[in-house]
Amino acid sequence: MTLLSAFLAAEPAHEAAHAAVHAAPAATESSGPLGDILKLFSNFGVDGPHLTVQVINFCILAFVLYRFAIKPALGQLEERIRQAEQLQQDRAAAEAQLAAAQKTAEAKLVAASDEAVKILADARNSAKQAIEAAKAEAQAAQIDVIAKAKAAIEADRVKMMNEVRGEVSRLVVETAAKVLEQNLDDAQRARLNEAAVKQLAR
């Protein structure tokens, strides 16, 4: 901008140049096609030195802009792009790791599921075997208890029958003895004694 200010400050020189340009047609008109062109540009307001200064000014501005604004911005942009690419790569790697982890997790899940199914089947088999063993044991115990109960009942029955039979026999014999003792007279007893003597002699 300082340079531009310097050019603007040199306006009198510029005005002088302008006057020279306006004064030029007279010369150019007499210099052929180039003069025509210059005249044409002059008619459109294009001033050669001014244009040169503008061009230089533009170049300087472009250089300054490129050096201090565009280049850092491009650098930052490239850095952003590089970061974005890095992020994308990281993301892809993370996605790959995630996919691998998911795959591993799924595999582990499947293995764990298989293991769980196997353990469950083993547990069911064990429980089934335990239940069957318990059933068999209970049935054996039941059969044993029933057999013992039957034996005890039979023993009680036999014992009771024997007791009843003994009691009945005792009552019958006691009754018979009492009847005999009351009804036997001496003659009958004497005959019994004689029979016993004969039995002894045999």
CB atoms within 10 A of CB 36: 13
Q: Is 83 in the site for another protein (CB under 8 A)?
A: no
**Comparing C-alpha atoms, which of 28, 19, 5 is closest to residue 49?**
19
| Structure tokens given for 49 | 């030195």
Nearer to another protein, 74 or 176 (CB): 176
Instruction: Provide the phi-psi class of 32: left if phi over 0, else alpha when psi is between -120 and 50, else beta.
Output: left
Nearer to another protein, 34 or 197 (CB): 197
Nearer to another protein, 111 or 168 (CB): 168
Any idea which residue has 């591993």 for tokens? 104
User: Which amino acid belongs to residue 175?
Assistant: T
| Structure tokens given for 111 | 């293995």
Q: Least CB distance from residue 150 to another protein, whole Å? A: 25
x/- letters, 171..200, toward another protein (CB under 8 A):
-xx--xx--xx--x-x-xxx-xxxxxx-xx
C-alpha span between 84 and 90 (Å, rounded):
9
x/- letters, 140..169, toward another protein (CB under 8 A):
----------------------x--xx-xx
Q: Least CB distance from residue 195 to another protein, whole Å? A: 8
Q: Under the rule (CB under 8 A), what is the footprint of another protein?
A: 162, 165-166, 168-170, 172-173, 176-177, 180-181, 184, 186, 188-190, 192-197, 199-201
